[in-house]
Amino acid sequence: MADTQEARVAVYLDFDNIVISWYDRVHGRNAYGKDRQRIAENPHDPEVAERLKDAMIEVGAIIDYAASFGTLVLTRAYADWSSPVNAEYRSQLVARAVDLVQLFPAAAYAKNGADIRLAVDAVEDMFRLSDLTHVVLVAGDSDYVPLAQRCKRLGRYVIGVGVAGSTAKSLAAACDEFESYDSLPGVARPAAKKTAAPAPATAEADATAATDTETPAKTKTATRSRAKKSAKPAEADTEATPLSEQDEATALLQRALRLGHDKSDADEWLHSSAVKTHMRRMDPSFSEKALGYRSFSDFLKSREQIAELEETGHERLVRLRDR
């Protein structure tokens, strides 16, 4: 199945699972469970917002990886999209043509809501779409083992994607292929925890001590001022400078080459036509002509800092320069 030329891929994301698992991966074991109430009550609190930002999921990295197997026929994400944590991703998901399936849990912690709905939809799709060749399950629960096994029995090639340390070994074993979310191109691995520097802590203590001599009204004003100052960097971080079209195309090429090398020998040359096809799968709007290049080869030559191009006769081969 994996070598089928006309590969057609269905992607199913248990979104709550992947978000919570990555939050725990970034902030420590059971961190989401400890912060759940704070997140639900005040998601815009500067400290809460910063922790959520540090644990943001790169949805594009997952979809790009799924697209490396073939044409994406359908992509569905299951979650309660009214939740502030999940609502942050809605525009990002819609931009990648992901179908958002709304779940309304019957109880506050209806654990199996997404599992059952996702499994029912997936099995139905297996029978409804006979030309479906690949199924990508983005989850980590062992509850999905029967689904993975059923998809394989129905002749589909099953790929699992889950967060390292939070994925059941039985689920990985039930898939034909399993990839850790941490290792996908475009995903930044969690950094080591940073401890507060002595100087800022001392400065804050000095500022607090100074306000002790002020009147209550002045003290409240100073406190509000400090809170606003501490919130500003978090707001500024969320407004990242958008990449230019040329930079986006360069990043797209780099991801396509990395994924191409991951599926073959690291030093193997890739056909430029296959690389272009993969880039178009990841971003259907990509066009070298819209970027000002007469051909895809000209586009590759302009990116010689990251791509090596070899032209022999009618064959054009490319590979990542720093593999």
Q: What is the pLDDT of residues 35-92, one digit of tens each?
A: 988 988 888 899 999 999 999 999 999 999 999 999 999 999 999 898 888 988 988 8
Of all residues in the chain, the percent with pLDDT exceeding 90 is 54
Q: Where are the alpha helices (DSSP H) in the chain?
A: 15-27, 31-41, 46-54, 59-67, 84-87, 90-95, 113-128, 145-153, 169-174, 198-211, 216-238, 245-262, 272-282, 296-301
In terms of residue numbers, what domain contains 224? Answer: 200-238
pTM above 0.85, yes or no: no
- Same domain, yes or no, for 126 and 267? no
Statement to judge: residues 220 and 288 lie in one domain: no
CATH number at residue 52: 3.40.50.1010
Return the amino acid letter for 231.
A
Give the residue with greater pLDDT, 113 vs 10.
10
Same structural domain, 163 and 146: yes
Residue 311: predicted pLDDT: 87
For residue 200, what pLDDT band results from cuts at 50, 70 and 90?
very low
Residue 115 has pLDDT above 90, yes or no: no
Q: What is the share, in percent, of the chain residues with pLDDT greater than 70?
A: 79
> Does one domain contain both 79 and 112?
yes
Q: Let me know if residue 84 belongs to a domain.
A: yes
**Each residue's pLDDT tens digit, 206-243:** 444 444 444 444 444 444 444 444 444 444 444 556 77
Identify whether residues 254 and 212 lie together within a single domain. Answer: no
Considering the domain architecture, whether residues 158 and 204 belong to the same structural domain is answered as no
Q: Strand 270-271 vs strand 134-138: parallel, antiparallel, or unpaired?
A: unpaired
* 233-260 mean pLDDT: 77
Query: Based on the structure, what is the number of domains in the chain?
Result: 3
CB 39 within 8 A of CB 103: no
167/179 Cα distance (integer angstroms): 11
Give the model's pLDDT for residue 112. Answer: 63
